[in-house]
Amino acid sequence: MYAAHTNDHGHDEHSHKPSGIMRWVQSTNHKDIGTMYLWFSFAMFLVGGAMAMIIRAELFQPGLQIVKPEFFNSMTTYHGLIMVFGAIMPAFVGFANWLIPMQIGAPDMAFPRMNNLSFWLLPPAALLLIAAQFAPGGGAGVGWTLYAPLSTQAGPAMDLTIFAIHILGMSSIMGSINIITTILNMRAPGMTLMKMPLFCWTWLITAYLLVAVMPVLAGAVTMTLTDRHFGTHFFNAAGGGDPVLYQHIFWFFGHPEVYVIAIPAFGVVSQVIPAFSRKPLFGYASMVYATASIAILSFMVWAHHMYTAGMPVEAQLYFMYATVLIAVPTGVKVFNWVATMWKGSLTFETPMLFALGFLFLFTLGGFTGLVLSIVPVDIQLHDTYYVVAHFHYVMVAGALFSAFAGIYFWLPKWTGRMYNETLGKWHFWLSLVFFNVTFFVQHFLGLAGMPRRIPDYSLQFAEFNMISSIGAFGFGLSQLLFLYIVIKTITSGEKAADRQWEGADSLEWTHLPSPAPWHSFETPPVVK
Amino acid sequence: MKNERANRRMMTRLSIFAIAMFGFGFALVPFYEKICQVTGINDLIKPAAAVVNTQVDKSRWITLEFDANTRGMDWDFNPVQRSVRVHPGEMIQIEYDVRNNSEKAMVGQAIVSYGPRYAASHVKKLECFCFKMQPMQAGEAKRMPVQFVVDATLPAEVNTITLSYTFFEVEGASTAPLKSGGKS
Ligand code: HEM
Ligand SMILES: [Cu+2]
């Protein structure tokens, strides 16, 4: 199917590109689709971010000032859903589309048309989530975890949300099938699995996780749907069902899902840190095994989200020990990143800064995770702001910072132009400071007992909440700087070199010009 | 292209896996129920564990004395035990023997008094023949229970409580025997 393109890669990339909007609507090109994923994800990042600003504005002071409690609940719900399914996950799928074919020396993804479909399912799903706000009774204020029995009793917005999740799930599953097939079947000759850049490895593992758990989530929300409309009683105690069952099914998906978010982030950081240390990644094989064991273990710890839901003490102990065990492979990874930098010739361009920010803050989030995995501690801290602080350290300072690192790192390759280093550093430092202002104090709020998902709070929490809100506004504004930097790079950045970072050694840097041509590796490169 | 074939096969396999995982989500429902059943975790209809009284003050003994009188009635009325030694907080059951020696059916009502008087509020009766009027046929004999707890807040200086019951005749009341349900 690639035989029609006889041009050798790189020199006349304009000749086959359809023009206008149809180029994007009908695109089967992995780079175009990757670009669309990334822009979509940024748009969702702004929508979800706006919701976060509403949440923090309401929490700026105690009392109810700005929004009604129902609307506040809807904001926490859709902020979570949109950030997880609309912003972070599509961002990393965008990276996968752009990078995997180039890094393994393949001409494109295995199923280009399915790739197009996976992307174009996303906008309707996003529209459903936004439309849910205008359903009778407003958005469903059930939390992003959609717990029964609240979800079986919520208004029509819940149905829109369930459909959105079905569509997002289908998109993820198709995207994952594409990624697995591409990596397993389409590597250039000589590119053995253990020679692949770690980013490809992390995505291979993530894609397997997604194919395994997205259908389980789809099943859970389908049960919610039939409980709502078709008289089943999966979660309805009055009919012999059990709401706690929902929690088990959800977290069977939910804990692996947090690693779906984290593992590609590990992959990006594992490309960036060696490049700016000018050393190969320390312990490549142990990185692969650690990632795989994290993925496998992630299926065995789900009930650490449910210590307070009612569980025999033996089960609590098992889930506690299993959860603590995950810290071991995670520790291996952190050790390897640090060891990669050891005696390297380090430089601190923006991608490296974000990668280091990731390294410090993700590790901190891992520590608070360990604290939460201890049953007696968690019984105290469950559903407080301590949990909110924990997962924002791993998801914002973890996954999001890693995505920023990746974007600054590959932008020269994608656009052929360099971003403005000074502005990039500003973006990093503003994000770092405001992130910590926002979320560090939330640890204290949680320890003092402030519950999450409540629009009002008692007076002793006022100072820390005000600090947190100020940090959040600052963080939100800093991201507009990021948008400006990216647009400025695309329109008028300086010309980038083919191998912009001399420490980067994967195929897209060593074998392809900048910007990467529309078609690449139609004849596979030879990998020694 | 031979790659294309292999890709399709891979897609089929992965799709089957995804569909199987969708089924797995539903399979979790009976699986969950089974686990709860086998381990008895979530058995809502299992009888509650036997109630244990945790408020017994083992450090203290009190003596309970039982007294019995009748007023103008030809009845025998005697406690089975004259006295018991118990801990405050313990559940106690004692019994009285009653016999109607007269030739006619009569109805009696027992009234209790306590010595010392203020012990009354510390004796919590759960069951007592004094709660109801007691019809007795001519020559009938019965054993009647009293069940009660002396609560642990009983003032420390009290070490003996006397429960004194007196039967009075209730004239004109129905002498039909009490139903087992106890409605009078
Ligand atoms: C060492 C690794 C980790 C451990 C031991 C850990 C442990 C925990 C525990 C015990 C909870 C439950 C707290 C509660 O609700 O009371 C929790 C919540 C959470 N964690 Fe982690 N975690 C780890 C890493 C991560 C990572 C890498 C992510 C995502 C990138 C993540 C995302 C979350 C989220 C989103 C929640 C909150 C879910 C909710 O209730 O809404 N965690 N974590
Ligand atoms: Cu978890």
Q: Quote the ligand 1 centre to A372 CA distance (angstroms).
A: 8
For residue A349, indicate whether it is catalytic. Answer: no
Q: In terms of domains, do B38 and B74 share one?
A: no
Q: In terms of domains, do B107 and B45 share one?
A: no
Band (pLDDT 50/70/90 cuts) for residue B47 is: low
For residue A115, the SS3 value is: helix
Range of the domain at B157: 62-169
Q: Using an 8 Å CB-CB cutoff, list chain A residues near B14.
A: 176-177, 180-181, 211
Output the CA–CA distances (angstroms, integers) from residue B165 to A148, A354, A438, in the order listed. 58, 87, 74
One DSSP character per residue, B101-146 reads -SSS-EEEEEEEEEESGGGGGGEEEEEEGGGS-EEE-TT-EEEEEE
Taking only residues 329 to 388 of chain A, the set having a beta carbon closer than 8 angstroms to any beta carbon of chain B reads none
Q: Residue B181 domain-assigned? A: no
Band (pLDDT 50/70/90 cuts) for residue B153 is: confident
Q: State how far the Cα of A202 lies from the Cα of A263, in Å rounded to an integer.
A: 6
Q: Using an 8 Å CB-CB cutoff, list chain B residues near A310.
A: 42
- How, if at all, do strands A494-495 and B62-71 pair? unpaired
Q: In terms of domains, do B25 and B109 share one?
A: no
Q: In terms of domains, do B33 and B67 share one?
A: no
CA distance B6 to chain A (A): 7
Q: In terms of domains, do B115 and B154 share one?
A: yes
For residue A426, indicate whether it is catalytic. Answer: no
Torsion of CA A150, A152, A155, A159, to 10 degrees: 130
Q: In terms of domains, do B20 and B86 share one?
A: no
Output the CA–CA distances (angstroms, integers) from residue B17 to A151, A294, A337, B21, in the order listed. 28, 21, 34, 6
Residue nearest (by alpha carbon) to ligand 1 atom 7: A369
Tell whether the model's pLDDT for residue A10 goes beyond 50.
no
Domains of chain A, each with CATH number or no CATH: 27-510 (1.20.210.10)
Q: In terms of domains, do B34 and B69 share one?
A: no
Tell whether the model's pLDDT for residue A434 goes beyond 90.
yes
Mean pLDDT computed over A121-139: 95
For residue A293, indicate whether it is catalytic. Answer: no
Mutate to test the pocket of ligand 1, among A305, A392, A401 (most ligand atoms within 8 A of CB): A305
For residue A468, indicate whether it is catalytic. Answer: no
Q: Quote the ligand 1 centre to A392 CA distance (angstroms).
A: 9
pLDDT of amino acid B89: 87
Find residue B63's DSSP bridge partners.
B85, B160
Q: Quote the ligand 1 centre to A394 CA distance (angstroms).
A: 8
For residue A333, indicate whether it is catalytic. Answer: yes
Q: In terms of domains, do B82 and B116 share one?
A: yes
Q: State how far the Cα of A319 lies from the Cα of B95, in Å rounded to an integer.
A: 55
Which residue intervals of chain B are DSSP H helices?
Answer: 2-39
Chain B CB within 8 Å of residue A240 CB: no
The pLDDT > 70 percentage for chain A reads 97
pLDDT of amino acid B91: 87
A288-344 per-position pLDDT tens digit: 999 999 999 999 999 999 999 988 888 899 999 999 999 999 999 999 999 999 999
Q: Which residue matches tokens 């039939």?
A: A226
Please answer yes or no on whether B18 and A211 come within 8 Å at the CB atom: yes
pLDDT of amino acid B44: 53
Band (pLDDT 50/70/90 cuts) for residue A9 is: very low
From A32, A58, A159, A257, active-site residue: A257
Tell whether the model's pLDDT for residue B55 goes beyond 80.
no
Q: Residue B153 domain-assigned? A: yes
Write the CB contacts of B178 (distance below 8 Å, at least 6 apart in sequence). Answer: B132, B134, B135, B184
Which residues approach ligand 1 with their CB closer than 6 A? A 145, 258, 261-262, 304-305, 323, 326-327, 330, 366, 369-370, 372-373, 378, 381-382, 387, 390-391, 394-395, 398-399
Write the CB contacts of A328 (distance below 8 Å, at least 6 apart in sequence). Answer: none
A386-400, B37-51, B150-164: which has the minimum mean pLDDT? B37-51
Tell whether the model's pLDDT for residue A74 goes beyond 50.
yes
Compute φ and ψ for A502, nearest 5 degrees: -70, -20
A239-276 per-position pLDDT tens digit: 888 999 999 999 999 999 999 999 999 999 999 999 99
Q: State how far the Cα of A518 lies from the Cα of A321, in Å rounded to an integer.
A: 49
- For residue A75, which amino acid is it? M
Q: Is the dihedral of CA A130, A134, A136, A139 positive or negative?
A: positive
Taking only residues 7 to 36 of chain B, the set having a beta carbon closer than 8 angstroms to any beta carbon of chain A reads 7, 10-11, 14-15, 17-19, 21-26, 28-29, 32
Structure tokens at A295: 């993925």
Q: Residue B55 domain-assigned? A: no
Q: Using an 8 Å CB-CB cutoff, list chain B residues near A219.
A: 22-26, 28
Phi-psi region of A63 (alpha: psi -120 to 50; beta: other; left: phi over 0): left
Contact B155, B111 (CB under 8 A): no
Chain A CB within 8 Å of residue B38 CB: no
Contact A493, A417 (CB under 8 A): yes
- For residue B89, the domain's CATH number is 2.60.370.10
Closest-lying ligand to the alpha carbon of A323? 1
Q: In terms of domains, do B74 and B115 share one?
A: yes
pLDDT of amino acid B14: 96
pLDDT of amino acid B50: 61
Tell whether the model's pLDDT for residue A11 goes beyond 50.
no
Closest-lying ligand to the alpha carbon of A378? 1
Q: Residue B174 domain-assigned? A: no
Q: Which helix H or strand E contains A215, and what residues bound it?
A: helix A198-229
- Number of domains within chain B: 2
For residue A417, indicate whether it is catalytic. Answer: no
Q: Quote the ligand 1 centre to A522 CA distance (angstroms).
A: 43
Q: Residue B180 domain-assigned? A: no
Q: In terms of domains, do B67 and B142 share one?
A: yes
pLDDT of amino acid B90: 87
Of A34, A87, A52, nearest in space to A395 by CA = A87
Q: Residue B138 domain-assigned? A: yes
pLDDT of amino acid A170: 96
Mean pLDDT computed over A413-436: 97
Q: Using an 8 Å CB-CB cutoff, list chain A residues near B22.
A: 215-216, 218-219
Chain B CB within 8 Å of residue A142 CB: no
From A30, A35, A58, A108, active-site residue: A108
Q: State how far the Cα of A219 lies from the Cα of B26, in Å rounded to an integer.
A: 6
Chain A CB within 8 Å of residue B61 CB: no
Which residue intervals of A395-506 are DSSP H helices?
Answer: 401-415, 421-447, 462-492
Structure tokens at A27: 């695109």
The pLDDT > 90 percentage for chain A reads 89
Q: Residue B56 domain-assigned? A: no
Q: In terms of domains, do B27 and B67 share one?
A: no
**Which pTM was predicted?**
0.80
Q: Residue B177 domain-assigned? A: no
The complex scores an ipTM of 0.89
Output the CA–CA distances (angstroms, integers) from residue A337 to A279, B54, B122, B125, in the order listed. 11, 58, 72, 74
Compute φ and ψ for A25, nearest 5 degrees: -65, -40
Q: State how far the Cα of B71 lies from the Cα of B84, in Å rounded to an integer.
A: 26
Contact A287, A281 (CB under 8 A): yes
Tell whether the model's pLDDT for residue A138 goes beyond 80.
yes
Q: Which residue has the higher pLDDT, A9 or A477?
A: A477
B72-126 per-position pLDDT tens digit: 888 999 999 899 999 888 888 999 999 999 888 999 999 999 988 888 888 889 8
Q: Quote the ligand 2 centre to A301 CA distance (angstroms).
A: 7
Of A203, A213, A209, A212, nearest in space to A288 by CA = A203
- How, if at all, do strands B134-136 and B83-86 pair? unpaired
Ligand 1 atom closest to Cα of residue A384: 16
pLDDT of amino acid B36: 81
Mean pLDDT for all residues in chain A: 93
pLDDT of amino acid B179: 60
Of A263, A240, A259, nearest in space to A251 by CA = A259
pLDDT of amino acid A332: 95
Tell whether the model's pLDDT for residue B57 goes beyond 90.
no
Q: In terms of domains, do B161 and B111 share one?
A: yes
Chain B CB within 8 Å of residue A252 CB: yes
Q: State how far the Cα of A117 lies from the Cα of A129, in Å rounded to an integer.
A: 19
pLDDT of amino acid A14: 47
A348-364 per-position pLDDT tens digit: 999 999 999 999 999 99
Tell whether the model's pLDDT for residue A396 goes beyond 60.
yes
For residue A225, the SS3 value is: helix
Please answer yes or no on whether B11 and A181 come within 8 Å at the CB atom: yes
Rg (CA), chain B: 33
Tell whether the model's pLDDT for residue B182 goes beyond 80.
no
Tell whether the model's pLDDT for residue B2 goes beyond 70.
no
Q: Quote the ligand 2 centre to A321 CA distance (angstroms).
A: 13
